[in-house]
Amino acid sequence: MLFRKICGIDLGNDTIKIADKKKKRIICEKNMIAIRNKSDVIAVGGKAYAIFEKAPACVEAGSPMKNGSIANGGNLEIVLSQLLKRFTHLLGRKPNIIITVPMELSEIEMRAFYKVLAGLKVHKVGLIEKGVADAVGIGMPVLSQAGNMIVNIGSATTGISVVSEGKVILGRQHTLGGDSMDEEIVTMLRRQHSLNIGKKTAEMLRVEMGYLLDGQKQMRKVYGIHTISGLPRYAVVPSEDVSAAINNTVDAIADAILATLQRTPPQLLENIRHNGIYLSGGVSLTPNIAYYLQEKTAIPIYNIPDPIFNTMNGLVEIMNDKELRKLTFSPKDYVGNLI
């Protein structure tokens, strides 16, 4: 890898983050693509997100990933290629990349992921389990025999990882996260206020008004389409309603954590009970979510300083540490005999 640029890619359902090993340059873009007439790519990243929910009938805008797995491999390859080109356009050489691997993919999904990586114009690809990158970002001694648990609550999925000796001993990915909370908010507005709203509005309400246990009481005027008349209307929504709407998803996350703990080997479980569980991912910024989950699981649960960029922080550490870089593996090792 001497004299060749290396960069880390945190591939998320909602955003894609790219950084060099010195973290002097970082790209954080929406994992979105906008296509006109099913063939002409008109925007990727943040520009595509700006079109989302506003596009005319001839333009389709959305993420090439769904629930943490690849929904359209061709579109994901386009998004990654364009963002990498933007990141490395000054280099003049194909870079090496280390990219986080989604958890619990089916054989079909693994083949799709392999095909996407094979289509990228890069020199060499290294893969790292997302749970391991998260653990490194938090500062956990990932190479030790002790067990640590990280819960990454993202937009589409919640990844629960038990990490020990440099690998994910037990990992589960659940379709729970910001998107499912947003869906609950959309349902709440429709039932209680007869108002249809879009995903962007629901996300705004969750981020600005949602909380667990207790939080700031506020009201917000929300615009949408009246379900009966079909006309534009607004409703005044209290933060208590928004917060109540996200409870079901957080309760399901608590149940998923408990189910993973029940399957954790006893020695590692003892380490986790002693060290606690750490939250990563942007949705972990929801006020009081750590305290709420702690009440449900009876295990100390902690927020971390930089949950949105924690996985990327781990990738940067891995790129700069020879021992940690040994934890990466090739795409062929990942898919094994499936190709």
**pLDDT, tens digit, 9 for 90 and up, residues 134-152:** 999 999 999 999 999 999 9
Task: Please report, for residues 201, 206, 208, the alpha-carbon distance to residue 46 in angstroms, rounded to integers and kept in the order given.
Answer: 17, 20, 20
Question: Per DSSP, what are the bridge partners of residue 46?
Answer: none
First to last CA, the chain: 26
- The predicted model scores a pTM of 0.92
The residue among 45 and 24 whose pLDDT is bigger is 45
Tokens for 77, please give them: 């390859």
Strands ordered across the beta sheet of 59-62:
40-44, 33-36, 59-62
The residue among 339 and 150 whose pLDDT is bigger is 150
Question: Per DSSP, what are the bridge partners of residue 33?
Answer: 44, 62
Question: Per DSSP, what are the bridge partners of residue 43?
Answer: 34
Q: Which helix (H) or strand (E) segment is 171 a member of?
A: strand 167-174
Torsion of CA 22, 23, 29, 33, to 10 degrees: 10
Q: Which of 192, 66, 53 is nearest to 184 (CA)?
A: 192
Task: Please report, for residues 16, 223, 281, the alpha-carbon distance to residue 170 in angstroms, rounded to integers and kept in the order given.
Answer: 25, 44, 19
Query: Looking at residue 329, what DSSP letter applies?
Result: B
Instruction: Give the model confidence (pLDDT) of 263-298 as tens digits.
Output: 999 999 999 999 999 999 999 999 999 999 999 999
Lowest mean pLDDT among 7-16, 107-116, 199-208, 300-309: 107-116
Could you give the CA distance from residue 196 to residue 204 in angstroms, rounded to a whole number? 15
> Residue range 186-193: average pLDDT?
96
Query: What is the pLDDT at residue 2?
Result: 47
Angle at 215 between CA 214 and CA 217, to 5 degrees: 120
Residue 58 burial by Cβ neighbours in a 10 Å radius (0-12, 13-18, 19+): exposed
Q: For residue 68, name the pLDDT band (cuts at 50, 70, 90).
A: confident
Question: Per DSSP, what are the bridge partners of residue 100?
Answer: 128
Question: In the chain, what's the furthest Cα-to-Cα distance?
Answer: 65
pLDDT, averaged across the chain: 92
Q: For residue 335, name the pLDDT band (cuts at 50, 70, 90).
A: confident
